[in-house]
Chains A and B, each alone.
Chain A
């Protein structure tokens, strides 16, 4: 699976959009981009995933560049409860060697 690069930490003002970038320049054509977050010491929580089209759900939007070498997770109106570590992962789904490898992630601080 391709490697990802994320900033170590970011700040965001409460009520503003939080834009979290992820680079995955070695992504292959059948690898999907997944985002998870981990609030304090809880188990990680799945947020969203996509292949090449932009995706939106009740939690966030995922923007993937046309060349698929990078993506951005957007939390449209960040709240204090969105303070967490956000992980960007790329992997091939439905493979016999399925495994999801987490990197260090981005620590997002939402400030009042």
Chain B
């Protein structure tokens, strides 16, 4: 049971490049979310999903796309990277039923130059 796995752990992009941050969980969790955390700041919700095929926007969705084709995977796509997207990105998952807390991944540290 690996929990929530995020890849890559570190990434440097040039402005305008696109890439996909991967997130996978093996706990059969229905709910998954993506957060970003800028230096010295709290977490901000980008997108979330309540099950396969269902996604919705969080607080800061602009510049990011998500899809949820399977229960296990919830990739985050940066369409055209900008320096303002330099941040640490965390993926989290939770059971949909019952009152469970989130399990977080270890994060992806992204730098856009």
Question: Which residues of A line the B interface, CB within 8 A?
Answer: 32, 34, 36, 41-47, 49, 51, 85, 87, 93-94, 96-105
Contact = CB atoms under 8 A, between A and B. Distances in A.
A98 B41 CA distance: 22
A103 B42 contact: yes
A66 to B, nearest CB: 20
Interface of B: 4, 31, 33, 35, 41-45, 48, 50, 56, 58-59, 88, 90, 92, 96-107
Contacts of A97: 56
Contacts of A85: 42
Contacts of B92: 43-44, 100
The A interface is mostly helix, strand or loop, or mixed, namely loop
Contact of B102 (A42, A46, A103, A105): A46
Contact of B42 (A41, A43, A51, A105): A105
Contacts of B4: 43
A99 B45 contact: yes
B106 A87 contact: no
Given A36-B102, A93-B98, A94-B96, A99 B88 contact: no
Contacts of B88: 41
A93 B105 contact: no
Given A34-B101, A41-B88, A46-B102, A99 B96 contact: no
Given A36-B102, A98-B96, A104-B41, 18 more contacts: A36-B101, A41-B88, A41-B107, A43-B90, A43-B106, A44-B43, A44-B92, A44-B102, A94-B98, A96-B50, A97-B56, A98-B48, A99-B56, A100-B45, A100-B102, A101-B45, A101-B58, A102-B44
A49 B102 CA distance: 11
9 contacts: A36-B102, A46-B100, A46-B103, A93-B100, A94-B96, A97-B56, A98-B50, A99-B56, A100-B102
B104 A45 contact: yes
